[in-house]
Structure 1
Amino acid sequence: MRRRVVVTGLGFVTPIGNDAVSVWTSLMEGRSGTRILTRIDPADLPSRVAGEVKEFEAERFLPPKEARRTDRFIQFAVVAAMQALQAARLELTPAVAERTAVVIGSALGGVETFEAGVETLQARGPARVSPFLIPMFLADMAAGYVAILTGARGPNFATLSACASGANAIGEAARMIREERADIALAGGSEAPLTRTVIAGFAALQALSRRNDEPETASRPFDRTRDGFVIAEGAAVLVLESEDHARRRGAPILAEVLGYGTTADAYHIVQPCVDGSGAVAAMKSALDDAGLLTRDIDYINAHGTSTPLNDTVETAAIKQLFGSGQAVPPVSSTKALTGHLLGAAGALEAAICILALQHQMIPPTWHLREPDPECDLDYVPNQPRAASLHYVMTNAFGFGGHNAVLILSRYSS
């Protein structure tokens, strides 16, 4: 029998709350985290809506000097990781830390720092560029910094697979624990992408919602009126442990990581493969890894970006996976409230699935008012739904054709 991997702690820094209770309350009550941008002047940007993290205090875990020397995406990861360790009631003693991995993904890394460095270079010359520029914006520095602060000396790296990064981080960390290369892992994703260049770039791709007059409902996955995703910032980190390690120390076991599948579309730099074959293959791979059949899945947390193409292709892929003779389980997208956290999205949605398993409740797809005829599944619109949840699937798909799928389950000894 293979080594089982369980989840013992969750950490959140998000537009809808910075702890598990506030995140879940927002999901149940439909409290949107998307607003008109305030971190930058958005006046001339075509899309001015974003999911911003509020009431964030990096100094809770970082001395003021260190906070000044770290990009916002690193700070998010540190706070989420420390919160997850506290929730897991886990102290990384030197012996434990030797067997603790850190895997934290990001699509963009420290773009706020990079943009500021370019502005300094242009305005004041190379002598004024900060010596901290490079370590502040490298995408691996969230994982590196968390390891430095916690003493974790096991495998340490960042997954960079666009919007699949966070899910890939969890899946790869779970594999390391199964293969006995680590006993514990801090795994997740972090992103702080709210800069003028990033937003202008995504807008140029026609990827962002331009519903600036309705910022709180601009993200509307699977709705006929959807016009793009709402970019967002934040982080989510999970504490993963081998089951035997968690049970020996009496840890609170929240769920089990049962399956992981990852594939490539090998099709287009930004568009999903129109036949959904890459997504289907990733979902099948996750099912095989979990030892499950499609009929075992009770709920799917969709990638559900609120872009016209993604939502129709993902719907078609799910239908293809289940086939014509089998009912598709309820599907929902929590990006309606959180916005799209890019490289952190897959980690956040995995953590939300664990909350759903704990509460035996499906978070709905908010803002779904006008169903799209091409999106014809049960998306749990606008109202939470009590359900018997044992196995849940969560999808994460990224530019470049990256697909990552996780299957999480209720824990039974």
Structure 2
Amino acid sequence: MKRRRVKITGLGFVTPAGIGKEAFWKGILEPVSRVRLSTKFPEEAGAFVSADVRDFRLEDYLPNVTGKRMPRHTQFALAAATLAAQDAGITLQQLRGHGAIVMIGATLMDFGVINKGVDIIVKKGPINALPTSVTTALVSAIGAAVGEAIGGTTRAMSLQSACCSGLDAIGRSAEMIANGEAEVAVCGGAEAPLYFHPMLELKLAGLAPGNPDHPERQCRPFDQWRTTGVIGEGACIMVLESENSPRPGYAFVGGYSYASDPAASPCAGLTEAMRLALGNTGLRPRDIECISAWGPGHKTLDAAEARVLQDYFGSELAAIPAVSLKGAIGNPLGAAGAIQVGCAALGLSRSAIPPTVNWEHPDPSCPLNLSGKTRYIAHRNTLINAHGLSGANACLVLNQ
């Protein structure tokens, strides 16, 4: 069978920059950080900063569904999937009986119910443990909930490949459609890690800051004075369809791949992932006209990604516009790559590249073509990078 092209026909966003496609796009083009001081954790643990999704109620998007006992990452996924279907001009229920793929990625289990369960046991004893956490806390529950919203029999799966999870879910779904295994997919990433655990552990591991001063300036991707990243939350779910669909698309998923880092060499696996993703697209490095970099704002990881990009693209790197979204919305872990893909699709269709918020002092070790302002540039091919703990890397290429 001839390999088919795969297009993005619907986009749904739940992010600190905005909920819904237009609100997100307006927010992400603003040179504004949504990172704030968090006040919901015990004072004795020190300061925490994060990028929260504010004013979110699942009932605003699914009036007949209550989010009272539902994990927050699952709520995000359901809302974003509903918005994506609406953006494609359909409802989730209209996909029933059409063999839709549901593939959602997340890094972490639901720490909300885990924290709650532990607190209850400490206060009231083991007899009061929450048995429902066995099922609701699982990453697999996210895809299952979206599948249930569609109804009937769906092929639902949740991926857990660290911070690459959401991008991997999109890439694998696109591969299945391209190979004729499905006609439509609802896919992306969702994450809600802003609970005392794992935020305490992330801070102690040096992956989140503990400085309460000027939280909005702390996530500084590729900036000379960056220290570490800031944790965020959110979701981006999209509808993928084959090129035979009558619905218009924002962009085509041209190619995807993944690769692991060698020991003690962070981001080194990106080289192979980029090479394979571009090869699957039929492109050469000189054909890439925009790079959506991982760039979490971490001193070591940003430099490592920049070094890999410099080695791969050579002298052409300086001419390719690049961006990191983390300064605006933090790092929503498994949802980050999916949000990057959704944002890149909008950028291709609207000829715009968002700003890299808080990039003010260029770092000689990160010689990327960045800007703190929105750039209105027509471009045809965008490379999206994702990197995660355990040496995970994934890359995806979008085409007009």
TM-score, structure 1 as length reference: 0.92
Query: Are 2:136 and 1:136 equivalent residues in the alignment?
Result: yes
Listed one character per residue, the Cα deviations across residues 30-51 of structure 1 (whole Å, up to 9, x for unaligned) are 232111114x225334441100
Secondary structure (helix, strand or coil) at the match of 2:296 reads: coil
The equivalent residue for 1:209 is: 209
Distance across 1 between alignment mates of 2:111 and 2:359: 32
The equivalent residue for 1:361 is: 352
Report how many residues are paired: 399
Listed one character per residue, the Cα deviations across residues 226-254 of structure 1 (whole Å, up to 9, x for unaligned) are 1111101111101101111x22xxx2311
1:261 paired residue among 252, 257, 261:
257
Change in Cα spacing, 1:152 to 1:359, as seen in structure 2 (3 Å) is: farther
Distance across 2 between alignment mates of 1:193 and 1:407: 28
1:74 CA drift (Å): 0.5
The equivalent residue for 2:385 is: 395
Q: Partner amino acid for 2:206?
A: Q
Superposition map of 1:4-403 within 5 A: 4-38=5-39, 40-41=40-41, 43-62=43-62, 66-92=66-92, 96-151=96-151, 153-244=153-244, 246-247=245-246, 251-268=247-264, 273-274=265-266, 276-324=267-315, 327-380=318-371, 382-403=372-393
Secondary structure (helix, strand or coil) at the match of 2:159 reads: coil
Q: Partner amino acid for 1:267?
A: A
Instruction: Answer with 310-319 or 65-74: which moved more.
Output: 65-74
Secondary structure (helix, strand or coil) at the match of 1:237 reads: strand
1:364 CA drift (Å): 1.6
Instruction: Answer with 221-230 or 24-33: which moved more.
Output: 24-33
Secondary structure (helix, strand or coil) at the match of 1:226 reads: coil
Listed one character per residue, the Cα deviations across residues 298-317 of structure 1 (whole Å, up to 9, x for unaligned) are 10010000000111010011
Distance across 1 between alignment mates of 2:35 and 2:95: 43
Secondary structure (helix, strand or coil) at the match of 1:316 reads: helix
Verify the 8 A CA contact 2:227 2:297 in the aligned structure 1. yes
Secondary structure (helix, strand or coil) at the match of 1:68 reads: coil
Distance across 1 between alignment mates of 2:373 and 2:349: 18
Distance across 1 between alignment mates of 2:132 and 2:90: 31
Distance across 2 between alignment mates of 1:339 and 1:119: 28
Gaps of 5+ in 1: none
1:94 CA drift (Å): 6.8
Verify the 8 A CA contact 1:77 1:237 in the aligned structure 2. yes
Verify the 8 A CA contact 1:300 1:330 in the aligned structure 2. yes
Change in Cα spacing, 1:376 to 1:181, as seen in structure 2 (3 Å) is: same
Listed one character per residue, the Cα deviations across residues 184-235 of structure 1 (whole Å, up to 9, x for unaligned) are 1111111110111211111111121334211112111011111111101111
Verify the 8 A CA contact 2:310 2:317 in the aligned structure 1. no
Verify the 8 A CA contact 2:268 2:304 in the aligned structure 1. no
Say what the alpha-carbon RMSD is for the aligned residues: 1.8
Distance across 1 between alignment mates of 2:46 and 2:365: 27
Verify the 8 A CA contact 1:208 1:227 in the aligned structure 2. no
Distance across 1 between alignment mates of 2:340 and 2:194: 20
Secondary structure (helix, strand or coil) at the match of 1:158 reads: strand
Change in Cα spacing, 1:134 to 1:63, as seen in structure 2 (3 Å) is: farther
1:72 CA drift (Å): 0.6
Distance across 2 between alignment mates of 1:285 and 1:209: 35
Change in Cα spacing, 1:78 to 1:301, as seen in structure 2 (3 Å) is: same
Q: Partner amino acid for 1:3?
A: R
1:54 CA drift (Å): 0.7
Q: Partner amino acid for 2:231?
A: I
Instruction: Answer with 325-334 or 230-239: which moved more.
Output: 325-334
1:28 CA drift (Å): 1.7
Change in Cα spacing, 1:204 to 1:326, as seen in structure 2 (3 Å) is: closer
**Percent identity, aligned pairs only?**
35
Verify the 8 A CA contact 1:98 1:153 in the aligned structure 2. no
Verify the 8 A CA contact 2:385 2:395 in the aligned structure 1. yes
Distance across 2 between alignment mates of 1:77 and 1:49: 23
Secondary structure (helix, strand or coil) at the match of 1:353 reads: helix
The equivalent residue for 2:396 is: 406
Q: Partner amino acid for 2:252?
A: E
Distance across 1 between alignment mates of 2:54 and 2:358: 22
1:124 CA drift (Å): 1.6
TM-score, structure 2 as length reference: 0.95
Verify the 8 A CA contact 2:38 2:47 in the aligned structure 1. no
Q: Partner amino acid for 2:340?
A: E
Q: Partner amino acid for 2:54?
A: K
1:370 CA drift (Å): 1.6
Change in Cα spacing, 1:206 to 1:46, as seen in structure 2 (3 Å) is: farther
Listed one character per residue, the Cα deviations across residues 236-275 of structure 1 (whole Å, up to 9, x for unaligned) are 101101111x22xxx231111111011111425xxxx25x
